């Protein structure tokens, strides 16, 4: 029976993730829900849930990451997503390389050494166009469930070019395309292409070190993985829990405390 | 100008104002001596700060009353100030004024004035701040004197050529443009001759006519001597940063660089940097650092983010990260050895041609590499400055080369030196913290 030994929080802009690990660093419990505006209260409730479902949190080390990390008052330490993602993926897949993490409001590319250390990283600039929110916004605007947009894109033989690199402007561009009779699926395919081209630009800026790995909530969308693989001509490795790499890394850091 | 008015002016700027500012300085010195930092990582402030404040205040105080008493020139930073000082000009550096406005958080209102007049937000934020100040008359320093002469030198950027034409039109005064050809490797003799001829045939005759004075070689030589001594001292001040812990960080340098920019060529500037060097050497002797817990040392490239100076210093300081040097502050000292008193005008033509911004991106990379080595740096922060394209161009490849060829961790940080609207706090903090973790500060 493994022992509940450490807890990692990843309070992202879109979802809050928690991972509990045992003394060997194995994930024994995990939970994801949407991030709420009152993060302190949400963390309180999440801890109650941990107590109920995993065990007493007294003397359990906690590390928090993500944009909301400073609001996790119970955390022994706050660590950035870059460090946590690198730790998480390295343990999960057992090797270094280039990790692309596409989150709700930021995307990042992290170069990880064969010892699991961060060697270099880059993040999207002051714009959400290379992130999950970009796709989410558009899906909502087109009234298509976000879970379906990847499938529709893959199946579409046609593709239109979306020139806007800004989430807000892309939305107006899409409305105008719809008004001109463009089909939904080709537009979606173009949107995915737009996101991938920004991510590939980020990979280039730090220099790809194979193998290529992908994490973040957007991984649930098959088109992203497929297009990233096509654009980089690399096999894309996805960990078992792609959305949890930040929280997992945080839990692993907590375990070492 | 009547005799009474002249006496009144002299009394105000040479006696009353300075006496009050000296008293303020004494008060501030005492306050510094008993000052206890609010956190455990900040070292006590430099005592010289009181003198810095006095010097800057005195300069702008004089500026309030100078019109009609002394000729006034507005000059680009790194521009040919020595011939003007020799002719008795009171010199204002619009960039310095813009930086001061930024550090005092007064810049947004001034930029707004320029933007309302139709100047695009894509123009340099220094230019917008100063065009706004010129158009509206608003300034955090009380009053800026109107220029009698404008001097723009192309050795820092091309924007100044357009910016000063705006000022020329607004103030309706003569503008002298000194064209300094770009230096790819070394400047050939005809380039130096070309710049020297512009100084001798354009700048000096125009400045003489405006000031109604004749240029004196003797006075010029004296000014060049002062410039050389002050620049050498500034370089020595900066080189104290090679010590571990560094007694001074760039956050101090950015403030204390004002006299070397604004008062280069004045005798007082030599005394000031001499005193500063003494204080820093004392700190080195006693092992006092700019922060108390120095763990990692970083080089800064580009202009400061003026409106974030204090918060950046605090954010980095709490992790034990200090910034002992920057390519920017170094630019005001590194040319000092080039000044040759006996070849006055020719050597000044060389100085005006050789600033880092007028040299190739490869030269900047070399500068960064040697600074990383000389100052025992653990990494580099390259401020990608939206408002300073000449400084920021090439930073992507400079960063890659630093990382790949020399194994120096480097971070590109997007911001703007004076416009907070082009800066994203949370994202900058994310990058900086991630970079600090990457350097392994926590492992120490």
> B186-238 pLDDT, tens per residue?
999 999 999 999 999 999 999 999 999 999 999 999 999 999 999 999 999 99
Cβ–Cβ of B438/A121 closer than 8 Å? yes
Question: What are the tokens at A70?
Answer: 């400073």
The SS3 call for residue B292 is: coil
Per the CB < 8 A criterion, the answer to whether B408 and B438 are in contact is no
State whether residue B397 sits within 8 Å of chain A by CB: no
Backbone angles phi, psi at B341, to 5 degrees: -60, -40
pLDDT higher than threshold 90 for residue B1: no
pLDDT higher than threshold 60 for residue B136: yes
Measured over the CA atoms of residue A176, residue A180, residue A182 and residue A183, the dihedral's sign is positive
- In Å, how far is B430's CA from the nearest CA of chain A? 7
Q: What is the DSSP code (8-state) at residue B106?
A: -
DSSP E strands in B136-273: the ranges are: 149-153, 175-178
State whether residue A36 sits within 8 Å of chain B by CB: no
A58 Cβ contact partners less than 8 Å away, ≥ 6 residues apart:
none
Give the number of other Cβ atoms within 10 Å of residue A226's Cβ.
Answer: 16
Residue of A82, A106, A126 lying closest to B438 (CB–CB): A82
Angle value at C-alpha B196, between B192 and B199, nearest 5 degrees: 145
Q: What is the DSSP code (8-state) at residue B359?
A: B
H or E segment and range at residue B428:
helix B425-439
Backbone angles phi, psi at B195, to 5 degrees: -70, -45
What is the set of domains in chain A, with CATH numbers?
4-86+244-256 (3.30.420.40)
A173, HSE (Cβ side, Cα atoms, 13 Å) = 17
* Percent of chain B predicted with pLDDT > 70: 99
pLDDT of A104 reads 79
Question: What are the tokens at A7?
Answer: 């807890």
Model pTM? 0.90
Residue of B396, B414, B438 lying closest to A125 (CB–CB): B414
Nearest to A144 by CA among A101, A100, A192, A103: A192
Cβ–Cβ of B437/A126 closer than 8 Å? no
State whether residue B409 sits within 8 Å of chain A by CB: yes
Q: Is residue A247 classed exposed, middle or buried when 0-12, 13-18 and 19+ CB atoms within 10 A define those classes? A: buried
Nearest to B130 by CA among B206, B70, B77, B88: B77
pLDDT higher than threshold 60 for residue B444: no
Q: What is the DSSP code (8-state) at residue B242?
A: G
- In Å, how far is A82's CA from the nearest CA of chain B? 6
B195: left (phi over 0), alpha (psi -120 to 50) or beta: alpha
What would the mean pLDDT of A41-48 be, rounded to a whole number?
95
Beta A107-112 vs A118-123: how paired, if at all? Answer: antiparallel
Which residue of chain B has the CA closest to A124?
B427
Q: Which residue has 């590319």 as its token pair?
A: A109
Beta A62-65 vs A4-11: how paired, if at all? Answer: parallel
Nearest to A12 by CA among A96, A106, A117: A106
Q: Confidence class of residue B332 from pLDDT cuts 50, 70 and 90?
A: confident
State whether residue A121 sits within 8 Å of chain B by CB: yes
Cβ–Cβ of A118/B438 closer than 8 Å? yes
Give the number of other Cβ atoms within 10 Å of residue B442's Cβ.
Answer: 14
A204-246 tens-digit pLDDT: 989 999 999 999 988 889 999 999 999 999 999 999 999 999 9
Task: Tell me how far apart the alpha carbons of residues A232 and A20 are, in angstroms, rounded to a whole number.
Answer: 34
Question: What are the tokens at B414?
Answer: 């997007």
Task: Tell me how far apart the alpha carbons of residues A119 and B410 are, in angstroms, rounded to a whole number.
Answer: 10
B17-57 tens-digit pLDDT: 999 999 999 999 999 988 888 888 888 899 999 999 999 99
H or E segment and range at residue A65:
strand A62-65
Angle between helices A167-179 and A184-206 (to 10 degrees): 150
Asked whether this complex has an ipTM greater than 0.90, the answer is no
Q: Confidence class of residue B298 from pLDDT cuts 50, 70 and 90?
A: very high
Q: How far apart are the first and last CA of chain A?
A: 22
Helix, strand, coil percent values for chain A (each to nearest 5) = 45, 20, 35
**How many domains does chain B contain in total?**
1
Cβ–Cβ of A123/B403 closer than 8 Å? no
Beta A62-65 vs B296-301: how paired, if at all? Answer: unpaired
Cis peptide before A211 (omega within 30 of 0): yes
Per the CB < 8 A criterion, the answer to whether A219 and A131 are in contact is no
Longest dimension (CA), chain B: 71
State whether residue A107 sits within 8 Å of chain B by CB: no
Cβ–Cβ of B430/A123 closer than 8 Å? yes
pLDDT of A194 reads 86
Cβ–Cβ of A80/B434 closer than 8 Å? yes
Residue of A67, A121, A205 lying closest to B434 (CB–CB): A121
Q: Which residue has 């040299």 as its token pair?
A: B359
Task: Tell me how far apart the alpha carbons of residues A64 and A118 are, in angstroms, rounded to a whole number.
Answer: 18
- In Å, how far is A15's CA from the nearest CA of chain B? 18
- In Å, how far is A182's CA from the nearest CA of chain B? 35
Beta B175-178 vs B296-301: how paired, if at all? Answer: unpaired
Give the residue numbers spanning the domain of B240: 3-443
State whether residue B429 sits within 8 Å of chain A by CB: no
pLDDT of B187 reads 95
Nearest 10 degrees: Cα torsion A72, A220, A195, A188: -130
Task: Tell me how far apart the alpha carbons of residues A116 and A110 are, in angstroms, rounded to a whole number.
Answer: 11
Q: Residue B223 to residues A123, B75, B130, B261: CA-CA distances in angstroms?
A: 49, 16, 27, 14
pLDDT higher than threshold 90 for residue A195: no
Give the number of other Cβ atoms within 10 Å of residue A14's Cβ.
Answer: 17
Backbone angles phi, psi at B175, to 5 degrees: -120, 130
- In Å, how far is B131's CA from the nearest CA of chain A? 28
What would the mean pLDDT of A115-141 be, rounded to a whole number?
82
């Amino acid at each position: 029976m493994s022992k509940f030994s450490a807890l990692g929080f990843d309070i992202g802009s879109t979802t809050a993730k928690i991972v509990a690990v045992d003394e060997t660093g194995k994930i024994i419990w995990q939970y994801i829900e949407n991030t709420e505006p009152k993060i302190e209260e949400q963390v309180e409730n999440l801890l109650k849930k941990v107590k109920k479902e995993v065990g007493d949190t007294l003397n359990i080390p906690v590390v928090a990451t993500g944009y909301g990390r400073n609001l996790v008052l119970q955390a022994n330490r706050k660590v950035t997503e870059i460090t946590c993602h690198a730790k998480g993926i390295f343990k999960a897949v057992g090797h270094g390389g280039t990790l692309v993490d596409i989150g709700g409001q930021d995307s990042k590319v992290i170069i990880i050494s064969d010892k699991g250390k961060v060697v270099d990283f880059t993040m999207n600039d002051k714009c959400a166009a290379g992130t999950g929110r970009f796709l989410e916004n558009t899906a909502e605007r087109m009234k298509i469930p976000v879970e379906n947009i990847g499938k529709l894109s893959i199946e579409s033989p046609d593709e239109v070019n979306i020139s806007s690199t800004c989430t807000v402007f892309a939305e107006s561009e899409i409305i105008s395309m719809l008004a001109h009779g463009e089909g939904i699926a080709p537009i979606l395919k173009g949107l995915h292409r737009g996101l991938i081209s920004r991510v590939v630009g980020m990979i280039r800026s730090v220099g790809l070190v194979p193998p290529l790995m992908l994490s973040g909530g957007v991984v649930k969308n098959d088109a992203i993985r497929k297009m990233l693989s096509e654009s980089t001509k690399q096999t894309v490795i996805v960990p078992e829990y792609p959305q949890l790499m930040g929280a997992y890394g945080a839990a692993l850091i907590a375990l070492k405390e | 100008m009547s005799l009474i008015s002249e006496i009144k002016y002299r009394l105000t700027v040479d006696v009353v104002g300075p006496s009050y500012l000296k008293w303020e300085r004494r008060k501030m010195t005492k306050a510094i001596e008993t000052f206890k930092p609010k956190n455990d990582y900040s070292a006590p402030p430099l005592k010289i700060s009181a003198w810095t404040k006095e010097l800057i205040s005195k300069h702008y105080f004089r500026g309030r009353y100078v019109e009609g008493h002394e000729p006034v020139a507005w000059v680009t930073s790194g521009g040919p100030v020595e011939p003007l000082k020799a002719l008795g000009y009171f010199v204002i550096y619009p960039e310095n004024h813009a930086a001061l406005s930024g550090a005092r958080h007064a810049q947004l209102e001034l930029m707004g004035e320029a933007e309302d007049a139709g100047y695009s937000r894509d123009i340099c934020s220094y230019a917008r701040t100063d065009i706004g100040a010129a158009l509206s008359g608003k300034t955090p320093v009380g009053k800026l004197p109107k220029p009698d002469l404008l001097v723009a030198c192309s050795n820092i950027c091309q924007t100044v050529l357009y910016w000063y034409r705006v000022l020329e039109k607004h103030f309706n005064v003569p503008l002298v443009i000194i064209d300094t050809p770009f230096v790819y490797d070394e400047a050939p003799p005809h380039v130096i001759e070309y710049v020297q001829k512009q100084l001798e045939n354009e700048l000096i005759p125009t400045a003489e006519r405006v000031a109604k004075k004749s240029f004196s070689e003797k006075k010029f030589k004296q000014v060049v001597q002062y410039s050389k001594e002050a620049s050498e001292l500034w370089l020595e001040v900066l080189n104290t940063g090679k010590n571990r812990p560094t007694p001074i960080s760039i956050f101090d340098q950015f403030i204390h660089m004002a006299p070397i920019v604004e008062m280069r060529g004045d005798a007082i500037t030599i005394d000031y940097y001499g005193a500063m060097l003494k204080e820093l050497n004392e700190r080195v002797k006693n092992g006092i650092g700019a922060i108390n817990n120095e763990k990692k040392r970083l080089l800064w490239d580009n202009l400061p983010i003026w409106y974030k100076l204090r918060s950046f210093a605090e954010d980095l300081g709490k992790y034990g990260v200090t910034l002992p040097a920057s390519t920017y502050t170094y630019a005001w000292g590194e040319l000092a050895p080039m000044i040759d008193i006996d070849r006055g005008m020719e050597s000044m033509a060389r100085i005006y041609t050789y600033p880092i911004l007028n040299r190739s991106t490869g030269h900047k990379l070399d500068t960064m590499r040697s600074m990383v080595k000389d100052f025992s740096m653990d990494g580099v922060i390259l401020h990608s400055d939206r408002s300073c394209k000449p400084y920021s161009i090439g930073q992507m490849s400079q960063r890659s080369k630093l990382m790949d060829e020399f194994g120096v961790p480097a971070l590109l940080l997007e911001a703007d030196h004076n416009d907070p609207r082009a800066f994203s706090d949370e994202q900058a903090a994310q990058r900086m913290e991630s970079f600090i973790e990457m350097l392994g500060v926590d492992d120490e």
